[in-house]
C-alpha cells in the first residue's frame, strides 16, 4: 500500500466518516484505529448493501439484452421478452439513481465543491487501507484519480510537474517565469484539490498520477 498516512488530520477530510469525532485519534498519524476501521466498514457495507440489489438486477437485464438483442425481430414472444428486459433495466437504473441521491444526501456536502472528487479518491484509498478489497483497490483508484487530474487547470498541471520534479517554490516560479507568491498560490490550490496534506504528499500523488 503506497499511501500509508492517515489523512484524518486534513481539514477537508470527511469528518462524518470518523467514529464519534475523537479529536485525539484525528491527530494520531499511522494505522487507522479499530473504531475508525469499523466505522468505515459500517458505512461501506451499508452503501454496498443498498446498491447491490439494483446493480444485480441491472446487470442481469443488461446482460440479457446484450446477449439476445438480435432476437428482437425473431418472434412476438422474443420481442415481448426483450421489451420487458429493456423496461426493467430502465426501472433498475432509476432505482440506482434514486439510491445514489439518498446516499449523497445523507452525507454532508463538501466544504469546497472542487475538492469533492479529491475527497472521493481519498475515501476510496483510505477505505482500501482500512481493509477494503485488496484486489479491487487498483481498479477503484483509477477513475477517481483521473477525475482529480481532470479538475486541474493547465497552469496547475504545470506547477504539479515542477513540484514532482522536486522544484522549490522559488525554482518552480523561475521556470514558469512567474512570481514565487503566484507559484505558491497555484501550489496551495493544487494541494486542496488533490487532498494533499503536505508537499511530500503532493509529490506522491503527482507521481501516482503521472503513471
Q: Which residues bind other proteins (CB under 8 A)?
A: 37, 41, 45, 48-49, 52-61, 63-64, 67-68, 71, 74-75, 77-78, 81, 84-85, 88, 91-92, 95, 131, 133-134
User: Is the CB of 108 or the CB of 134 nearer to other proteins?
Assistant: 134
User: Is the CB of 61 or the CB of 183 nearer to other proteins?
Assistant: 61
Report the alpha-carbon distance of residue 171 to residue 82 in Å, rounded. Answer: 63
| Minimum separation from the CB atom of position 76 to other proteins (A) | 11
Own/partner contacts of 181-184, CB < 8 Å, gap of 24 or more, are 183/159
| Minimum separation from the CB atom of position 124 to other proteins (A) | 15
User: Is the CB of 50 or the CB of 171 nearer to other proteins?
Assistant: 50
| Minimum separation from the CB atom of position 30 to other proteins (A) | 17
Report the alpha-carbon distance of residue 69 to residue 61 in Å, rounded. Answer: 11
| Minimum separation from the CB atom of position 95 to other proteins (A) | 7
User: Is the CB of 106 or the CB of 133 nearer to other proteins?
Assistant: 133
The distance from CA 111 to its chain's CA centroid, rounded to whole angstroms, is 16
Sign of torsion over alpha carbons 108, 26, 151, 48? negative
Amino acid at each position: 500500500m503506497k499511501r500509508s498516512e492517515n489523512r484524518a488530520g486534513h481539514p477537508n477530510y470527511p469528518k462524518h466518516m470518523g467514529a464519534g469525532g475523537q479529536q485525539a485519534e484525528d491527530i494520531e498519524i499511522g494505522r487507522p484505529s479499530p473504531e475508525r476501521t469499523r466505522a468505515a466498514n459500517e458505512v461501506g457495507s451499508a452503501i454496498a448493501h443498498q446498491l447491490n440489489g439494483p446493480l444485480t438486477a441491472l446487470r442481469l437485464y443488461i446482460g440479457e439484452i446484450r446477449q439476445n438483442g438480435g432476437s428482437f425481430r425473431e418472434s412476438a414472444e422474443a420481442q415481448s421478452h426483450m421489451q420487458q428486459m429493456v423496461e426493467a433495466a430502465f426501472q433498475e437504473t432509476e432505482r440506482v439513481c434514486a439510491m445514489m441521491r439518498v446516499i449523497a444526501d445523507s452525507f454532508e456536502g463538501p466544504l469546497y465543491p472542487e475538492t469533492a472528487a479529491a475527497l472521493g479518491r481519498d475515501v476510496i484509498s483510505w477505505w482500501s487501507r482500512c481493509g477494503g478489497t485488496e484486489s479491487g483497490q487498483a481498479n477503484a483508484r483509477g477513475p477517481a484519480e483521473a477525475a482529480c487530474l481532470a479538475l486541474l487547470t493547465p497552469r496547475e498541471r504545470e506547477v504539479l510537474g515542477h513540484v514532482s520534479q522536486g522544484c522549490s517554490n522559488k525554482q518552480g516560479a523561475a521556470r514558469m517565469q512567474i512570481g514565487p507568491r503566484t507559484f505558491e498560490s497555484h501550489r496551495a490550490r493544487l494541494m486542496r484539490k488533490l487532498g494533499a496534506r503536505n508537499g511530500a504528499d503532493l509529490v506522491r500523488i503527482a507521481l501516482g498520477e503521472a503513471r
